[in-house]
Every structure is written in C-alpha cells, then in structure tokens.
Structure 1
Amino acid sequence: MANLPDSLYEDYSTSKLTLPSASSFAPTTTVVPFPDMDTIIQWINDLHNEIPFVSNSALQNLVTHRNTYEILPLLLWKSPCTMAMMLQEIVKIYPHISTPVHSREGKPPRAYNILLLFQCIAHYPETRGYFLKAEMPHYLFPLMDINLTDKPIECLRLGALGVLAHMLKAPIDGAAVRFLMDNGALRYCTKAIEIGSTESKTVSVFILNKILSTNEGLQYCCVLADRFFLIDGLLKNLLVYLSSMTNPSPSLFNLIAGCYAKLSQKPRAREGLWRFPPVMLLNGTFASLFAEDPDAVNYRKQLIRNMQSKVMK
C-alpha cells in the first residue's frame, strides 16, 4: 500500500511546501526549544489570554512542539473551553473566505495554526474518537470548498485536508473511513483536486487512496456508476495535469496509480475501466516516473491483470 511521505501531510510549513507559514504573518515570537510539561500546560492556558501577543506566542509554540509530546492532543481536548475557542477561530473566518482581500488581513494564518493542532488531535487514537463523535470535521469542510487559489487561502485548504489525512494515517481507523463516507467528504476533496495546488491535489488523492484501501471504502466508491465515473474522471484529469508539468510529482503519480489498482479489484469498476481505460497510465506517457517507482509499476501490472481478467470472463 502506498503511503504519502510524512513531509507532505504532516507538516505544511514553508520548509516543506512553497506556501507561506503562519509565522510569516504574525509578530515574531520566541520558540522555546525544550519545554517541560508545566510550560506546555501554561501555553494551553495562554491560548485564552486576551493579549494577542501572548495568545499567538503560545499557539506558535504549541504548533512547533505538536509532534514532540504525545499527550498534547489529550491535554488540548480535556482543557476547559479550549476546543470551543479553537473552533471559534475557524468559524470566524467563514464570512471572509470568499474574497482574496481577507488573505491580506493576517487572519487565516492563526486559523492555519489551529488546523495544525487539529491534525495531531485527529491522529492520536484516543482523541480521534472524541473528534469524530463531536463531528468536528464538519467545521473543516467549508475550508476545503473554497473557490480561491491565492496562497494564504490555499494554506487553509491544505491545513483542513491535512486533518482528514491524519484521521486516516496508518493503521487505518474504520470508524474514520465510515465517517468520511457517511458525510460526503470526497465531494469536498473534489474541489481541491480540481483547483487546488499540487500539494492539495496530492493530499486529496491520499485521502481517496486510504478510503479505497478498505473494503467498505472500495464498495462505497464503486457501488454507484456515477460515483465511480466521477472518481475516474478526477484521476484522469490529474494524469493530464501531471503530463503538462515540467517536473511531475512522483508522490501524486504513485497515489493515482495506486487508486486505479484498487478500483480494478471490483468487477463493476473493471467494466468501466475496460470500456474507458486510463490510457495515459498504460502507454509510455509516464515512462520516466515508472522507471523511478517500482511500486507504481506493480500497480500498473495489477491494473492490467485485473482488466484482462474481465476479458477472459
């Protein structure tokens, strides 16, 4: 099973992607290198401080150390009123995400840092259950459905997608997959695939790939012809997108190939793939990418083998 490299869906900072980080828009804060537990708890309390510099500094420090302390997600969740405050930061930007003017006001970056904390909460097994029970992803869907592509707004889209990706990080949680299916999350990923950055497209296809990795998810994507052809159309458009790039993304290509291999496992999907094959994946269009990716080669072999089984029947 293909896994998206950690750097692409765990940390969307400037060092990993060509997108501005939240710190680019906020006053300079002092990052504490090795905080003790008392300091972590103080930062969580400082999130509620009415002095912007104190609150922003605490938020930036928590984001910096979010992958260092495994207990941080639980501390955030159990802290009185902290989750409500974090949600308020997300909800406050809803009225403004339809205009690029908002991206110059300095507000999205704070929400972006909140999304980074949501990512670790969505990944940690104990808080993931709370996160799903509270239906928290519903607050993120509007950020994935933005029609704009300017970079600060794209950061929000990428941050929201990253939360869903963390929910599905191995080992895959069946409850998380069912939640995304039941609430039409793939529809919101569609917008990112259509107009988002390469990074947003990659994380969206990562989410699709993880859903297809489960029996329930594969059945969900193939049970209706319209749903299958929507997914197939998105993947084919991505192949066209990659073919137009001077340096196409190996990670995105690997995930697309993996999705097709998984889809071909279902007889109904094989029927559609036989009638309307992903030609660019089967001819020499991506020979250079295949040459560097043995997993993608195996995915193509699996796809061809499954399509041929349709012919023999």
Structure 2
Amino acid sequence: MAAGVVHSSSGATNANVNVNANLTAGSHGNNSSSGSTPGAQLSGLLSGLVTGGNSNNSNSSNLIGGVGGPVPGSGTITAQPLVAGSAEAEKICQCITDLLQTETREAALMELSRRRETVADLAVMLWHSFGAIAALLQEIIAVYPTIHPPTLNAHQSNRVCNALALLQCVASHPETRAVFLQANIPLFLYPFLNMNTSSKTRPFEYLRLTSLGVIGALVKTDEKEVINFLLKTEIIPLCLRIMESGTELSKTVATFILQKILLDETGLNYICQTYDRFSHVAMILAKMVIALSKEQSARLLKHVIRCYLRLSDNPRAREALRQCLPDQLKNATFAACLKDDRTTKNWLVTLLKNIETKPGEGGGGGNGGGSNTPGVNLSGAGNAPTGATPGVATPASGASAGSGGASPGPQLSVG
C-alpha cells in the first residue's frame, strides 16, 4: 500500500510526518470537482453520478450554488502522486495534522477538500493518519443538535459539507472503501438523510445532498459488499422518503441510489421479496411519475424509468406492474421530454414490452387470480386487497410499508 501518512501519538504537536516516496498515481473513482464550497462538491458529484437529459455541470451549479459562492469552471482533473519531500506533500500532511486541533481544523478542512481531486491517495493518507477520521466524525456529530429544531446556518453547513466531501473521498478509494464500510461510518450520515424534508433551506439541502453524495459514491462502484451493507442498514426507506418529498436534485440522487441497488440481483430480490417493500417502492415511483408529468425533469425521469425497467425483470413484480404502471408512461406524456434521449426512450419501450400481457395469459398472473382480480393496492400494507392480487402476495399483517426489516407477510417468490 502506497500512502503518505501522518502519525501522532500526542495530538497535533510534534507530529511525525512520513511521506512514502512510492505514492501511486491515478484516479480512484472520486468524481467530485475541485473546490472547497458545497456547490463545487455537489456539481462534480452530480456530473459523475446522475447525468441524464440536458443535465450538465452548469445546470447543477445553478441548482445548488448559493451558500458557498459560484462554482469554479469545471474540467477533467487527473489526480497526481505526491513527491516525497516536496512542498506540496508537506502542505498536505500539515493540513491533515491540523485536523487534530479545533483552532486549525476549519481551514484544514477547506484546503483538503479543495485538494481531494488532485491528490491521488488522499483517502489512504486520511485513513491511516492518527485522529483524522475521528476529527471528521466529530464535525458531523457536532451539527446533530441543529437538526431538531432546525437551526443549521450556512457557515455550519459549509464546514460539515467539507468534512463529508473528505469522507466521500475515502468511500470512493478502492483501498479504503471496505474498511470504511466495516467501521459503519455511513451510519453517521443517516440522520442527515432522515431530516424533515420540509427543511429545504439551502444549508439543509447542501447537507442532505452531500450526504447522499457519499452513499452515491459507494453504490457507483457496483460492489456487492456495498449493496449488502446498505440493505442491512435500511437505506431504502430513507431514499424513498427523499424521493417522495425532497427537492428535484435530492430526488435525483436518491433515485440514482435506489436504481443502483435494484441493478444488483440481491437488491432486486430484497425489494421484491415482500408486499410491503415492493408496494412502497411502486407507490413512491408512481407519485414521482405523476409529479413529473406536471413539472418535467429529463434527468430525474431517466432514473425513475430505469428503476421501473429493472423491477420488470422480476416475474412477480412484472405481473404487478401490469396493473399499477402509471398511464403517463404508457402514453405520450413524456414524448417531448425524452425526444433527445435515445437511451431512456429505449428503456421505456423495453419496459412497456416487458409488462405487455401476452396472448393467452388472460392477465391472471401466477396466483390463480382471474380477469376480475383487483389491481395492486398501493395505499399501504394495511389496506391490501382481500382478493388475490396479480403477482403480489397480500401481507398477513399491517407492517409498515417500506420497512427494511423482515416482513411477517407472505413473500413474493423470486423467479
């Protein structure tokens, strides 16, 4: 392992700076733009994670800019190795050391956040430096009291977003991603995802989006360990809550995370395993389609359609979607929105073909339901139809929909 590491056994004083001469060059999946402002961080994140439609860096910065000032001009940035003994290496190591002192931490957070895209192994240096990760977690915990009641201000939001940007750097790096998950660090971010979504002021929205960005950086790697961790820690209900009532940008990132979970076979099986889980996901996606028909967003619609398409890969979910897929996706409601997006149009065409009732099926599904079987009830688990619903088993109890825990109701069989 090649890394520049700051070791200290007695706080930040007299730190022993050790920079390895064999630092390796190369980008490790951190796709955020350089910059110390939340606007710059989020613009780079979204350009790498949730591109679609007419979205670009400029659009993202217009949507999220404000608290931290204008977003710097974007461009391709290649991470470079630190040269042992160079002024740059010494400065980075000094900044990491400065994280340990409250008096110097804020300036160090800003500088390291600005450099995170250009220093190839900053994540490794942070992880193996004494007290660095603990300092970042202290910054996160410090703003918990500002969530309820909502008193978070712009300065506090900027500061914690810089700490979150460095955690995203650690989450993105292949050498630190596994230990990042093993330490359960994403759990420290969940309170920010569970905030009352009526708090849509810029400080709260930056905090919510930057936290989603850390999770987005994890799922972008398409690793089973990441999906298993997120399923185990019940990320799906948090994403669904944001998808239902967040801002357009936070909805987009949350839907992207759900999409990546669905694209994994384990994630698809998990969501389609019980009535509660599937019905909650289907209900939120349907609400989003209805909202998008009134205020269209090509970027968000792209991810909603991809989620539906992936759900249609599951035989039981496909049967249910024949009953509950919104009409807006079946007619020309989004024709103008998708006219320049060939990929999403193809996804929609494939989705409609998947759920098309084949001749001789009679629309009855595999549970013995006849042609008069009612459609899927998306109003909640407790109001499930009493008859046999095509493709969806009626739960035996009124467990809360979307719960990540084991549901007591019958399970959707996975084909």
Pair in the same fold by TM > 0.5: yes
Counterparts of 1:21 and 1:176, CA distance in 2:
32
| Alignment-derived partner of residue 348 in structure 2 | 300
**Partner AA of 1:184 in structure 2:** E
More helix per residue: 1
The offset of 1:23, in angstroms, is 4.0
Is residue 2:236 matched to residue 1:179?
no
- Flag structure 2 segments of 5+ consecutive residues without an equivalent: 1-42, 50-56, 70-79, 81-86, 362-415
Is residue 2:265 matched to residue 1:215?
yes
For 1:147-204, what per-residue CA distance to the aligned partner results, in whole angstroms no more than 9, with x for missing partners?
Answer: 122110111111111110000114x111000100111101111222122211110000
Q: Which has the larger radius of gyration?
A: 2
CA contact (8 A) 1:8 1:16 kept: no
> How many corresponding residue pairs?
294
After superposition, the Cα gap between the structure-2 partners of 1:67 and 1:309, relative to the gap in structure 1 and judged at 3 Å, is farther
After superposition, the Cα gap between the structure-2 partners of 1:14 and 1:36, relative to the gap in structure 1 and judged at 3 Å, is farther
CA contact (8 A) 2:46 2:60 kept: no
After superposition, the Cα gap between the structure-2 partners of 1:239 and 1:120, relative to the gap in structure 1 and judged at 3 Å, is same
After superposition, the Cα gap between the structure-2 partners of 1:6 and 1:292, relative to the gap in structure 1 and judged at 3 Å, is farther
Matches within 5 A, 1:1-313: 7-8=45-46, 16-20=61-65, 23=68, 36-51=88-103, 54-103=104-153, 106-147=155-196, 148-170=199-221, 172-245=222-295, 248-308=296-356, 313=361
The offset of 1:57, in angstroms, is 2.1
Counterparts of 1:297 and 1:14, CA distance in 2:
22
**Partner AA of 1:18 in structure 2:** L
Counterparts of 2:170 and 2:360, CA distance in 1:
48
Counterparts of 1:50 and 1:13, CA distance in 2:
35
- Flag structure 1 segments of 5+ consecutive residues without an equivalent: 25-33
Which piece of structure 1 moves more, 92-101 or 176-185?
92-101
Counterparts of 2:185 and 2:360, CA distance in 1:
47
Calculate the aligned-residue CA RMSD, in Å.
2.3
TM-score w.r.t. length of structure 2: 0.66
SS at match of 1:218: helix
Counterparts of 1:224 and 1:101, CA distance in 2:
39
| Alignment-derived partner of residue 31 in structure 1 | none
CA contact (8 A) 1:13 1:20 kept: no
Counterparts of 2:96 and 2:231, CA distance in 1:
33
After superposition, the Cα gap between the structure-2 partners of 1:127 and 1:274, relative to the gap in structure 1 and judged at 3 Å, is same
For 1:113-136, what per-residue CA distance to the aligned partner results, in whole angstroms no more than 9, with x for missing partners?
Answer: 111111111111111101100011
SS at match of 1:98: coil
TM-score w.r.t. length of structure 1: 0.87
Q: Give me the identity figure in percent.
A: 34
